[in-house]
Amino acid sequence: MPTPESLQLKPRLEFAVEIARQAGEQTLELFRTPSLDVDRKSDGSPVTAADRAAEELLRARIAAQFPDDAILGEEFGEKPGTSGFRWVLDPIDGTKAFISGVPLYTTLVAILHEDEPQIGVIFAPAAGEMVYAARGLGCWHVLGEAAPRRTVVSEVDKLENAVCVTTSVRSFTTERDIDCRPVYDRLESACRLTRTWADAFGYLLVATGRAEIAIDPAMSLWDSAALQPVIEEAGGKFFDWQGRATVHSEEAVATNGKLAEQVLAEIKAEG
């Protein structure tokens, strides 16, 4: 199996940070625009011109710089490649927040090699924050124009002291074939604080030590791919509801690591 060193991730990481910032800042041109048009995709989820334009920018930059890499994006599907590298893009993660004028949406850029996430970038342009990571290179936090600083997860080791975030409480009953609401209810009861400060921004909070748990019951690859490298390089754990450390699942959990087993126990508890 290739090592992070053999994959020479740093040039791709630097480029991923650059284009995530460029695409995210472009979305600000339409953020909080009263005349913003909102369309509905086949699954009922919203999409805007900002989503499409940001992904087109990302795709064009990647194709020019790394023409042999594959690209998967939420809005425009898959472009095959031959290099073993695959870019996974979510131009606006949190479109509902975006169209509501809430500054917690993000631009996500991930790079997988042979289907394993190696690089992740989470950029919140309206909030002025970014976290990024590559295997073996740590997780870095940028506030505004300040220099990047190494970031790590919190040291909280009891659920009763933990902050837990999710994207939508309703999703625990509407996004799965089974009712997952008891999972949320158990965590809400066990944790100090629960809030819907999520989409990918919630995982940024875990990576920077401001929350201990982020959990979602319905995820696509473009939602998850950037999160695993960020969380793990910050010292946390990222896994699905079966405890598997993977982005190839329909659900996701991130923790600060110390709480991983306790959170998994709450997920798997009956009743």
CA distance 224 to 62: 20
Nearest CA-CA partner of 216 in 181, 186, 251, 189: 251
Edge to edge, the sheet with strand 252-255 lists 193-195, 163-165, 213-216, 252-255, 237-239
User: Could you tell me the pTM of the whole model?
Assistant: 0.96
CA distance 126 to 58: 18
Sign of CA pseudo-dihedral 106, 110, 115, 259: negative
Could you give the domains of the chain?
Answer: 4-150 (3.30.540.10), 159-268 (3.40.190.80)
pLDDT digits (tens, 9 = 90+) for 113-141: 999 999 999 999 999 999 999 999 999 99
SS3 153: coil
Retrieve residue 110's tokens.
Answer: 């991930």
- Work out the average pLDDT over 23-35: 95
pLDDT digits (tens, 9 = 90+) for 239-250: 999 999 999 999
Place of tokens 């600000």: 28
pLDDT digits (tens, 9 = 90+) for 50-108: 999 999 999 999 999 999 999 999 999 999 999 999 999 999 999 999 999 999 999 99
Q: What percent of the chain has pLDDT over 70?
A: 98
Q: Say if strands 106-113 and 116-124 run parallel, antiparallel, or are unpaired.
A: antiparallel
Mean pLDDT over each residue of the chain, to the nearest integer: 95
